[in-house]
């Protein structure tokens, strides 16, 4: 179990070493169109969504290691297809493989860490270990984004080629994991549906329902700048006649947002203790809405700097949400619950992207007027969600652990 705990941050590091992180939209809209670029992300999200709950069940039924090995192998296939493909179908298959990779990881990686800590009598370290893994997971894309953006100035294929090697390393680490011992009584063969009863507390406990809704919304609003940030950078630089530098600038912006996220994680625990759990979580969500609002209000090149803050809210929320819910969930349903939350979040986001693609250009780049309209709708929806969560938080014991 100590080996698992030591390897886990490195698994997160290589899994997130996606050199195409800062240029994928630019590449897809350059090769195909802006509408196709949005739809290709929808393909990714649909694939992830379709496999979220089945992969969580597989993880709970067959083991964490098998799921993580499947995740790394799927990612390797997806990166290879991105490197060799040149059509919508080829890219769609690659996105589907990458979506499967994310689905097999979702919930399982955190479950492996918590169960390894519990088996090693170190469960009280969960917040600290989650934050440590979070830093590894964001140092990687910070490095990859800068390098990938520089590579793209010479060839858009180079970032995807190096991604193949990164997923190969991820697979090697996943094969080195050991399956944690499960503390719960196993469900007899043929009675797997009984596992659903262990989700009852998580699906009916008001505090966990509140955290479920918050996690869903924060997933959506974290990924809006991820999808639309690259065309925004292109449009902002275009007004200054610097659009040819968009791949490098996009990579540098992605690196900056990751570095700021790591820095924020160094102070996150202290801030959480000072503000309390509900306050820091709602602050993080408000920051997400604020970033999108600025992008919707101006296409100035100065607004590009606002994208630096994109991942800071995640540093101030995700480790604490996971640490809050993990002790309440049982080993036999932990990954299923986390996958169910991701399933709902991806379903909502995919639906919103589909509507956004209807207003995007079918040929060439996405114009800023199109971006402004799409981002404005997201801001309005976010403010409504924030208000509802704030009202509900005043009546719920978010800080105290509920009884499972």
Domain for residue 328, yes or no?
yes
Please tell me the predicted confidence (pLDDT) of residue 402.
Answer: 40
pLDDT over threshold 90, residue 123: no
Domain for residue 187, yes or no?
no
Q: What is the mean pLDDT of the chain?
A: 79
Domain for residue 191, yes or no?
no
Domain for residue 403, yes or no?
no
Please tell me the predicted confidence (pLDDT) of residue 178.
Answer: 85
Please tell me the predicted confidence (pLDDT) of residue 381.
Answer: 92
Residue 107 has what DSSP assignment? Answer: T
For the chain, counts of helices (H) and of strands (E)? 16, 0
**Range of the structural domain that residue 36 is part of:** 2-179+200-393
Domain for residue 36, yes or no?
yes
Domain for residue 400, yes or no?
no
Of 38-52, 153-167, 246-260, 356-370, where does mean pLDDT reach its minimum?
A: 356-370
Q: Among the ranges 124-133, 179-188, 370-379, which has the highest mean pLDDT value?
A: 370-379
Structurally, the chain folds into a number of domains equal to 1
The model's confidence at residue 360, banded by pLDDT at 50, 70 and 90, is low
Q: 330 or 156, which is more confident?
A: 156
pLDDT over threshold 80, residue 33: no
DSSP secondary structure string for all residues of 51-114: HHHHHHHHHHHH-HHHHHHHHHHHHHHHHHHHHH--SHHHHHHHHHHHHHHHHHHTTHHHHHHH
The model's confidence at residue 388, banded by pLDDT at 50, 70 and 90, is very high
Please tell me the predicted confidence (pLDDT) of residue 189.
Answer: 40
Domain for residue 399, yes or no?
no
pLDDT in tens, 175-226: 888 887 755 444 444 334 445 555 666 667 788 888 889 989 999 898 888 7
If we measure between CA atoms, which residue out of 51, 259, 70 comes closest to residue 170?
70
Please tell me the predicted confidence (pLDDT) of residue 336.
Answer: 66
Q: 243 or 102, which is more confident?
A: 102
Give percent of the chain with pLDDT exceeding 90.
Answer: 10
Residue 70 has what DSSP assignment? Answer: H
Domain for residue 184, yes or no?
no
Q: Domain with 315 in it: what CATH number?
A: 1.20.1250.20
Beta bridge partners of residue 33, listed in sequence order: 364
Give percent of the chain with pLDDT exceeding 70.
Answer: 84
Q: Among the ranges 28-42, 112-126, 269-283, 300-314, which has the highest mean pLDDT value?
A: 269-283
What pTM was computed for the model? 0.64
d(CA 115, CA 5): 10
pLDDT in tens, 145-182: 778 777 877 777 788 888 889 999 999 998 888 887 75
pLDDT over threshold 90, residue 12: no
């Amino acid at each position: 179990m100590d080996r698992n705990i030591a390897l886990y941050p490195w698994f997160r590091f290589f899994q997130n070493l996606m050199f195409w992180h800062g240029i994928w939209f630019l590449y897809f809209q350059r090769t195909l169109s802006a509408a196709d670029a949005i739809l290709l992300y929808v393909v990714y999200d649909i694939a992830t969504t379709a496999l979220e709950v089945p992969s969580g069940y597989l993880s709970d039924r067959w083991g964490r290691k098998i799921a993580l090995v499947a995740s790394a192998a799927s990612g390797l296939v997806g990166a290879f297809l991105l490197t060799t493909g040149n059509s919508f179908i080829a890219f769609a298959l690659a996105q589907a493989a990458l979506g499967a990779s994310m689905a097999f990881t979702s919930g399982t990686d955190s479950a492996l860490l918590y169960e390894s800590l519990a088996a090693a009598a170190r469960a009280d370290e969960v917040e600290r270990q989650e934050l440590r893994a979070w830093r590894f997971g964001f140092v990687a894309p910070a490095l990859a984004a800068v390098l990938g953006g520089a590579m793209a100035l010479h060839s858009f294929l180079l970032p995807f080629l190096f991604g193949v090697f990164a997923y190969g390393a991820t697979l090697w680490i996943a094969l080195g994991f050991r399956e944690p011992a499960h503390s719960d009584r196993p469900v007899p063969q043929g009675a797997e549906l009984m596992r659903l009863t262990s989700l009852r507390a998580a699906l009916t406990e008001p505090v966990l329902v509140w955290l479920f809704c918050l996690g869903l919304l924060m997933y959506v609003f974290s990924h809006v700048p991820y999808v639309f940030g690259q065309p925004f950078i292109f449009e902002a630089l275009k007004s200054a006649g610097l659009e040819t530098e968009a791949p490098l600038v996009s990579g540098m912006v992605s690196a900056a947002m990751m570095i700021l996220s790591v820095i924020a994680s160094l102070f996150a625990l202290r801030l959480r203790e000072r503000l309390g759990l509900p306050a820091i979580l709602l602050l993080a969500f408000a920051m997400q809405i604020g970033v999108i609002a600025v992008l919707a209000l101006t296409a100035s090149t100065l607004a590009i700097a606002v994208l630096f803050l994109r991942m800071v809210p995640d540093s101030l929320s995700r480790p604490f949400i996971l640490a809050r819910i993990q002790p309440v969930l049982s080993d036999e349903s932990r990954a299923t619950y986390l996958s169910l939350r991701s399933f709902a979040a991806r379903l909502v986001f995919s639906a919103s992207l589909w509507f956004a693609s209807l207003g995007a250009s079918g040929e060439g780049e996405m114009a800023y007027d199109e971006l402004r309209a799409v981002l404005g709708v997201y801001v309005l929806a976010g403010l409504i969600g924030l208000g509802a969560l704030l009202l509900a938080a005043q009546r719920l014991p978010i800080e105290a652990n509920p009884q499972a």
